[in-house]
Amino acid sequence: MALERLQGLVHRFWFASPLAFEDWTKPTANEMNANPTNDPHGLIFNLTCALDTDGTVFDLTDPEMDDSTSFCQEASDSEPMSDNVEVAYSFFRATDEMKINDPDSWNTAHLAFTLLVWRGIEGYAIMSVGEAPDSPIKVGDRLKMARVSTGWASDETGSGENVRMLQEFAQRGGVNWNYKVEA
């Protein structure tokens, strides 16, 4: 919401199990909207409201190139070997796992903690730009997806600041950038 006020842009962020999609290269609107209440037993989770705008990163950086040589070959193939995606979620820590005004609903920050604090959890980090954080995905929306694995999350603390946790994801090779949802 802060970016909406400052730049007029709205970002939505999800974390999804590898089982959330029949074909992760062509996610459908139904698959993206399969867990609108963020039920902890679901396969896809909207973590937008739990993420801190300062520490969250979702970007393509310079691609990996083969510019190495051996003693028997000249340098390099000018084609990128792989896309280089940098993804990190900085999420707020919650002291109460349930929402204060709704005891039947999980606090999104605590949900992010339960999903992202452990090392070795594989899934998809997903971002979309342009709609309200809680609006469903619809045909025509564009998604940026990266297959990732969690590392060791680290606490971020500062005097007079909310406690946050940073999860810097490891890449797992799958990138689906600017996919236009068709069905």
* Amino acid (one-letter) located at 72: C
Mean of the per-residue pLDDT values of the chain: 82
User: Over the Cα atoms of the chain, what is R_g?
Assistant: 18
Is pLDDT of 130 > 50? yes
Residue 60 vs residue 115, higher pLDDT = 115
Please state, in angstroms and rounded to a whole number, the distance separating the CA atoms of residues 48 and 5. 15
pLDDT band for position 25 (cuts 50, 70, 90): very high
Q: Are 132 and 10 in contact (CB under 8 A)?
A: yes
Q: Mind listing the pLDDT tens digit for each residue in 78-102?
A: 555 556 788 999 998 877 665 655 6
| pTM score above 0.85 | no
pLDDT band for position 3 (cuts 50, 70, 90): very low
Is pLDDT of 67 > 90? no
Q: Mind listing the pLDDT tens digit for each residue in 133-159?
A: 888 899 999 999 999 999 998 888 877
